[in-house]
Amino acid sequence: MKKPLFPCLIGLSLLLLMSCVVVQPEGGTPSYQTPYAPYRDLASDLERNLGELYNSSKAQLTEATPSDRRLLEDLDQLWQDSKELRRYLRFYPSNEMRADPLINRMLSQAERIDRGFRYQSSFRMFRRDWDDSYSILKGIANFMIGEVVEWLTEETDRLYTKLKEMTKEKTPQEIEVLDSLYQFWSQSRDIDLYLGATYFNKTRLLQMTNRLQYRADRTDRQLHSLPYYSALEEGWEQCLGLTERLTGKAERIYGYRRPYAPPEERKEEKKVANIKPVGYIDIATPEEVAGWAFDEDAGTAPIEVHIYLDEKHIATLTANLRREDLVGKVKQLKDPLHGFRWTPPALLPGRHTVKVYAINVPPGDNILISTKIVFIPPKKR
């Protein structure tokens, strides 16, 4: 007797549904959780540890200073954020745009709290407990990034193997593409290894993701030049998507990343020393103010001078009058056309200050080359 097929299909469907967990994030589409995500367990541990640490430190500090109270408030806020993080990670990665910035905020809070546990004597007894919680928080961040890196490394390795099999007789172009793809895989693997390093530094991680993004763009151009790119397109597009997700996640969790520029493309402006102009006021009388000004950066061209009388700008001159006596006496001066002469207006009796500024070439700080006092005697009655 044949068994009915319909009940068997129902049983098989139920078995398949039980083998995976479907979660429905708020305002999103259903997504399947991975069988084991370490950061979910770590989030629960973090919440529990921070709660115990906050309660024990609060009970111990009977006479808290203002700095102690601020540290307790920060610790309490971090504890509340850990509860929110645990709820977010239940539906991760569907709501990673919420979880990643939250982790960034928690890491910033943790850096501030870490300084308190390190330097405030009231909290030193809880230092070890805090170190455990801080390590868990950093572990969550690195696990979430490492999940993407591991996936990217596997996909790149698969694509590299496929390309290697397709290029039996390797042309110079194919060798170059293979090398570039290998470098891309190597950099992604280095990031994966660095995430577990004891000397982890977030700035270093952002630099590594920047270089990986640059390498991805370069490899993309090279792969497109192959005549059989269509056979590699699906795998490579997935690698590009994972790279973009990785760099975006690293930026959201650890902060802003600068665009990477390789050494061969960095154009550093050649710094040219701006030589200060020189000069002097040779004559300063009620009838005449004369002198010279010269800027080596201007070559043989004359420069301008500004004349100030009693701290007020009163005249602008071009130092282009002939001064034969300067040639040979002033270093680097090769022609005599660098003198100036100015006739002051009628001055009242008393002391008057005359200042001459040489206008710098190229534009920079104008230089006071000389100051003179002009004395006008009082009129006789």
Higher pLDDT, 74 or 40: 74
* pLDDT exceeds cutoff 90 at 7: no
Query: How many C-beta atoms surround the C-beta of residue 254 within 10 A?
Result: 21
* pLDDT exceeds cutoff 90 at 253: no
Which pLDDT score, from 0 to 100, does residue 20 have?
Answer: 37
Which pLDDT score, from 0 to 100, does residue 152 have?
Answer: 92
Which pLDDT score, from 0 to 100, does residue 342 have?
Answer: 92
* pLDDT exceeds cutoff 50 at 28: no
Report pLDDT digits (tens) over 193-212. 888 776 678 888 888 888 99
Q: How confident is the model at residue 259 (pLDDT cuts 50, 70, 90)?
A: low
Report pLDDT digits (tens) over 217-239. 999 998 988 888 898 899 999 99
Which region among 32-41, 170-179, 326-335 has the lowest average model confidence (pLDDT)? Answer: 32-41
- CA dist., res. 52 & res. 43, Å (int): 14
Which region among 3-17, 103-117, 218-232 has the lowest average model confidence (pLDDT)? Answer: 3-17
Tokens of 175: 């060798």
Which pLDDT score, from 0 to 100, does residue 198 have?
Answer: 64
- CA dist., res. 33 & res. 267, Å (int): 47
* pLDDT exceeds cutoff 90 at 167: no
The domains of the chain, with CATH numbers, are 29-262 (no CATH), 278-376 (2.70.50.50)
Q: Annotate the chain with three-state secondary structure.
A: CCCCHHHHHHHHHHHHHHCCCEECCCCCCCEECCCCCHHHHHHHHHHHHHHHHHHHHHHHCCCCCHHHHHHHHHHHHHHHHHHHHHHHHCCCCCCHHHHHHHHHHHHHHHHHHHHHHHHCHHHHHHHHHHHHHHHHHHHHHHHHHHHHHHHHHHHHHHHHHHHHHHCCCCCHHHHHHHHHHHHHHHHHHHHHHHCCCCCCCHHHHHHHHHHHHHHHHHHHHHHHCCCCHHHCHHHHHHHHHHHHHHHHHHHHHHCCCCCCCCHHHCCCCCCCCCCCCEEEEEEECCCCEEEEEECHHHCCCCCEEEEEECCEEEEEEECCEECHHHCCCCCCCCCCEEEEEECCCCCCCEEEEEEEEECCCCCCCCEEEEEEEEEECCCCC
Which pLDDT score, from 0 to 100, does residue 6 have?
Answer: 38
Report pLDDT digits (tens) over 330-351. 877 888 889 999 999 988 888 9
Which pLDDT score, from 0 to 100, does residue 264 have?
Answer: 52
Which pLDDT score, from 0 to 100, does residue 292 have?
Answer: 93
Q: How confident is the model at residue 43 (pLDDT cuts 50, 70, 90)?
A: confident
Which pLDDT score, from 0 to 100, does residue 258 have?
Answer: 55
Which pLDDT score, from 0 to 100, does residue 325 have?
Answer: 87
Q: Which residues contact 164 (CB under 8 A, 6 or more apart)?
A: 178
* pLDDT exceeds cutoff 70 at 55: yes
Q: How confident is the model at residue 262 (pLDDT cuts 50, 70, 90)?
A: low
Q: How confident is the model at residue 307 (pLDDT cuts 50, 70, 90)?
A: very high
Report pLDDT digits (tens) over 182-192. 999 999 999 98
Q: Which residues contact 284 (CB under 8 A, 6 or more apart)?
A: 354, 372, 373, 374
- CA dist., res. 56 & res. 101, Å (int): 29
Region 72-76: mean pLDDT is 91
- Global confidence as pTM: 0.55
Q: How confident is the model at residue 308 (pLDDT cuts 50, 70, 90)?
A: very high
Tokens of 42: 């770590």
Mean of all residue pLDDT scores within the chain = 81
Q: How confident is the model at residue 378 (pLDDT cuts 50, 70, 90)?
A: confident
Which region among 18-32, 52-66, 255-269 has the lowest average model confidence (pLDDT)? Answer: 18-32
Which pLDDT score, from 0 to 100, does residue 2 have?
Answer: 43
* pLDDT exceeds cutoff 90 at 305: yes
Q: How confident is the model at residue 95 (pLDDT cuts 50, 70, 90)?
A: confident
Query: How many C-beta atoms surround the C-beta of residue 186 within 10 A?
Result: 13
Which pLDDT score, from 0 to 100, does residue 347 have?
Answer: 85
- CA dist., res. 74 & res. 66, Å (int): 12
* pLDDT exceeds cutoff 70 at 35: no
The rounded percent of the chain whose pLDDT value lies above 90 is: 28
Query: Which amino acid type is present at position 8?
Result: C
CB distance 243 to 333 below 8 Å: no
Region 40-65: mean pLDDT is 86
* pLDDT exceeds cutoff 90 at 118: no
